[in-house]
Amino acid sequence: MTKSTLKELRTTKKMTQQELSHLTGISVRTIARYEKDTKKLRRAKYEKLKGIAQALAVSVDDIFLGIDSEFMN
């Protein structure tokens, strides 16, 4: 897992943290923390991860495996 797989996915989708925040209801500050600290991301509630995955049109697994995952859609 890369340090910032979530950021990589978000920027690949040409989405800002603000846009992701708006789509998920998760604060920009929390998204920034998830991107900076994968330990915080791993401790996130599944519902938050599911919301992020839906907003990015990926699976929850992809958030942790990255865009090079063979499981990416």
Banded model confidence at residue 38, pLDDT cuts 50, 70, 90? confident
Of the candidates 28, 42, 36, the one whose C-alpha atom is nearest the C-alpha of residue 8 is 36
| Amino acid making up residue 49 | L
Is residue 58 a contact partner of residue 73, using CB atoms and an 8 Å limit? yes
pTM of the model: 0.83
For residue 2, the model assigns a pLDDT of 45
73 in any annotated domain: no
Mean pLDDT of the chain: 88
69 in any annotated domain: no
CA distance 12 to 44: 22
39 exposed, middle or buried (CB, 10 Å; 0-12, 13-18, 19+)? exposed
11 in any annotated domain: yes
Domain count, the chain: 1
Q: Give the CATH number for residue 24.
A: 1.10.260.40
Residue-range definition of the domain harbouring residue 30: 5-63
